[in-house]
Structure 1
Amino acid sequence: MRRISVTTEIEAPVEAVWAELTATEAFPTWNPFIQSLTGRLAVGEKLVARIAPPDGKAMTFRPTVTVCEKGRRLEWLGRVVLPGVFDGRHSFTLEPFEGGTRLTQSETFTGILVPLLASTLTRTEEGFRRMNEALRARVVA
């Protein structure tokens, strides 16, 4: 198992951050990591996500939404081939603090391929950082 996480403080209310985070149709115009995300953000729904880790190969996968708590948390589970090969539980958590919102983007990876993909996971963590910063710039602008 490996977990990566990036937390960014955004000087805007939770409602504004959530609105931009869930306006997935706009991702291609600003999001450097998740190039596109289609599907309904509701528990049990399948999404189609295209991610582009920095200096890595873009990939498309079809995760299932596992948590969608408006203004608080969005989570999905993606799998490569079969459960236990390479699974990723990706989440966005929003927490209000005085002056804004604390956004944490994280993912827990499990499966037999995790030890073989260390460099990919390092690039993925940098992708989280870039996405969080781009979201901050979009919301604060």
Structure 2
Amino acid sequence: MIRKEIHTEIAINAPASRVWEVLIDFEAYQQWNPFIRKIDGVAKPGNRISAQMHLDNRRMMLHPDVLAVKPEKELRWSGHLYVPGIFDGEHCFIIEPLNENQVLFIQHEKFNGLLVPFFTSILAVTRNGFEEMNRALKERSEKEK
């Protein structure tokens, strides 16, 4: 199976509880998140959510299944394009406390499937989206402590 990964991280000067509060408030995403503009659904393991992504000025709707919700630590989901095995992804948001008022926020995605080698340009745009979201999450979390 063909595999690619994207890993981004950013230090945020806010407690884990604040970063988690911003991350999990899906209704507010349109106000601050340039990459994931909207999420419908409840972050609960086993639930399917709908996520509207913006990739290079294009919208893409995904319907991932929530795998893990660990308050103030991790949100993880997985999904696929069309049918499993073609282009699958497992996305995680990880909050690692550095001290009481600072965290390392990590976005990581593993891609598997037959079409992964043909989507390298989309993967580069996706990395940019992760980085834009990371910066926006930092700004919002630090601003509204």
- Global fold match (TM > 0.5): yes
Residue identity over aligned pairs, in percent, reads: 36
Residue matched to 2:126: 124
Gaps of 5+ in 1: none
**1:72 and 2:73 aligned:** yes
**Structure 2 matches for 1:54-65, cutoff 5 A?**
55-65=56-66
Count the aligned residue pairs.
Answer: 140
Residue matched to 2:11: 9
1:35 and 1:18 map into 2 onto residues whose CA distance is: 17
Which aligned segments of 4 or more residues in structure 1 are displaced greater than 3 angstroms? none
Aligned partner letter, 2:91: H
2:117 and 2:41 map into 1 onto residues whose CA distance is: 31
1:112 and 1:50 map into 2 onto residues whose CA distance is: 24
Residue matched to 2:26: 24
Secondary structure at 1:52 match in 2? strand
Q: Report the TM-score, using the length of structure 2 for normalisation.
A: 0.94
Q: Report the TM-score, using the length of structure 1 for normalisation.
A: 0.97
Match of 2:38 among 36, 39, 45: 36
